[in-house]
Amino acid sequence: MLNRLLRASLTKILGPIAHLFLRLGISPDVVTVVGTLGVCAGALAFFPRGEIWVGVLVITAFVFSDNVDGIMARESGRSSKWGAYLDSTLDRIGDAAIFGGLVLFYAGKGNNQLMAGLALSCLILGSVVSYAKARAEGLGYTANVGIAERADRLVAVLVAAFFADLFNSTILLGVVLGLLAVASLVTVLQRMLTVRRQALASGEVGA
């Protein structure tokens, strides 16, 4: 939902940056790769050491590349299946790094097994959310449903992690991680049911 609401505004804000990169001869794929590397560095270099708020700021600085590369591809006429594939694949890596960084912190220096478990649950279920949609589309179905889209999960965990570290409290982040895990599980079930209904309608499975 957040992705749809913010896309128009982000296009206006990030458009000049995208145009500058194009004039400099930078390709959308390069922006995609650099953005992912920045997100991974922010999460895996700072989160495990307990410097959560610093990591969030670094991640935020790079995460907008996901919008910049899309604008560049559209403006330059370079939109392609390869670009979409690269973008989606690297998005999953970035997401895994964010939740993985939290797992490493709470399993180590943070010494909170519950929080580590919640972060790990979000990592696993978030991956399944993406796979459930990709696999459905690969089989010719659609699974564009769910209450936990990627942008929603990303904004929620980054905001919660920032303030949790700033105010030295894990309660907010714990609640958000728990809700994200539940929402991701619900989304997986929604997508499975959606695909099953389509399969039943096509006569490919028995009732």
Q: Which long-range contacts (CB under 8 A, 24 or more apart) does 113-120 make?
A: 114/174, 115/170, 115/173, 115/174, 115/177, 118/174, 118/177, 118/178, 118/181, 119/177
Cα–Cα dist 71/28, whole Å: 9
Residue 63: name the closest of 146, 167, 151, 180 by CA: 151
Catalytic positions, please?
A: 91
161, amino acid identity? A
Max intra-chain CA distance, the chain: 57
Residue 170 has phi, psi (to 5 degrees) of -95, -5
